[in-house]
Amino acid sequence: MKRDPMKWFPWLLLLISDVLASTTDKPVGGSAVELMKKTPLIDGHNDLALRLRILYQNRLSKINLKTLNTTVTNIQKLQSGYVGAQFWSVYVPCSAQNKDALRLTLEQIDVVKRMCQTYQELELVTTSQGIADSKKIACLIGIEGGHSIDSSLAALRMYYDLGVRYMSLTHTCNTPWAESSSKQVHNFYPHVNGLSSFGKEVVKEMNRLGMMIDLSHTSDSTARMVLNISRAPVIFSHSSAFSLCNHSRNVPDDILRSLKQNNGIVMVTFHAEVLACGRKVVTVSTVADHFDHIKKIAGSRSIGIGGDYDGVDCFPEGLEDVSKYPVLIEELLRRGWTEIELKEVLRENFLRVFKEVEKEQHDSRSMNENENEIPQGEVQNPCRLDLRNNALQTAGVFPTSSGFYFVVQTLDLMFITVIYVILH
């Protein structure tokens, strides 16, 4: 019996439509999870250490970090999010500037190191090769805020020796030598603009040491000056695109272009306020828009991820904790990002920057330590001792009168002479 071909035509169209739909819905290059298994994420900024201080006074003995549920970060969630390396922020508040910021920073470094010693799933590393070789969650340390060095290059060097591999030049306050993007939040050093002459020395010493310069939280003036000075690529460890949200924390297009020339990266943050400038609905799509814009201006090689988990309280729908990174990668795949581009974003861009910073360190090995000191007048405060005027004082035991000090020395010498005569 002869069949009418037109009778089957609607069914053929429906079949073709189903095939095309299934092909379109399937993410380009496979699923996000499959991609992230091969290329685990390097995240640039997490504030778990801050939460541990606030909630538990850094008493690791009181918690189980594998299943901790009072934070949005724990080891199981990091594993579910395919995090291969995490920079832990050792942030201390700006209110500690000119007080005990240095001590508090050391305590935060201590808690990160103890985390890595306590849990076999974590491994403290300090090099790009260490990240590449690690079979665990590689842990690195970053200082958030230049107030932690107390305007001392010697302190900066000691932090490097303790494992610190990046420092944000400012947080929400000016330091005596660098301007913050949020200087109105605190009243520290209100007349600082961009980088001071000492700030330029900080940048040069970080290049020499092999410590990455983080420009998140710095003013645009500071960022532009650093990009003109630094011999090594820089990072924004947790920032987004100013053109999409005109928040002072975000990066304008002209700086994105300069960053491309510098070979540096913006590690896009998930902080809802910085992403959406007050809009009520913030989703994974909102974050992906920032990725698309930065890619358009600076290219996919200029992008990383810096979630800022446990540093803020509000995250986009679908990205509520560190287990949700694959949701973002799935969205970028859906938007047509290639596997090659996403491997760069997940891992390879950051490793390239780290290697170039290490190369600058190697090339600078013949240089001596920078012995510049900040002018005393720029850091005068009640908690800072001026050793130029106190070198011969003994913590207030004797009056500062040089005449009295001479008399005491003379009496000491006479007493020693008498004892010598008696004994001999």
* Active-site choice (147, 201, 214, 238): 238
Q: Are 46 and 308 in contact (CB under 8 A)?
A: yes
Residue 247 catalytic? no
Is 308 known to be catalytic? yes
Whole-angstrom CA distances from 294 to 44, 239, 251, 261 are 17, 11, 9, 14
The one catalytic residue in 144, 179, 330, 360 is 144
Element housing 143 (H / E) = strand 137-144
Pick the closest to residue 206 from 145, 156, 141, 264 (CA basis). Answer: 156
Catalytic pick from 123, 147, 150, 171? 171
Q: Which of 186, 217, 271, 290 is catalytic?
A: 217
Which residues touch 330 (CB under 8 Å, ≥6 apart)? 27, 31, 32
Please tell me the distance from the alpha carbon of residue 311 to that of residue 157, in angstroms, as a whole number.
26
Measured CA to CA, the distance from residue 191 to residue 22 in angstroms comes to 60
Q: In sequence order, what are the residues at sequence separation of 6 or more whose Cβ sits closer than 8 angstroms to the Cβ of residue 324?
A: 81, 318
Known catalytic membership, residue 47:
yes
Distance CA 54, CA 310 (A): 11
CA distance 137 to 103: 27
Indicate which residue of 43, 220, 308, 356 is catalytic. Answer: 308
CA distance 350 to 263: 10
For the question of residue 238 being annotated catalytic, the response is yes
How many residues are present in the chain? 424
**Catalytic residue flag (residue 191):** no
User: Distance between CA atoms of 162 and 88, rounded to whole angstroms?
Assistant: 14
Q: Which of 278, 280, 294, 297 is nearest to 332 (CA)?
A: 294
DSSP letters for 157-203? HHHHHTTEEEEES-SSS-BTTB-BTTTTSS-SSTT--SB-HHHHHHH
The residue from 43, 47, 123, 321 that is catalytic is: 47
* Distance (Å, whole) CA 319 – CA 266: 19
Amino acid letter, residue 65 = L
Catalytic residues: 45, 47, 144, 171, 217, 238, 308
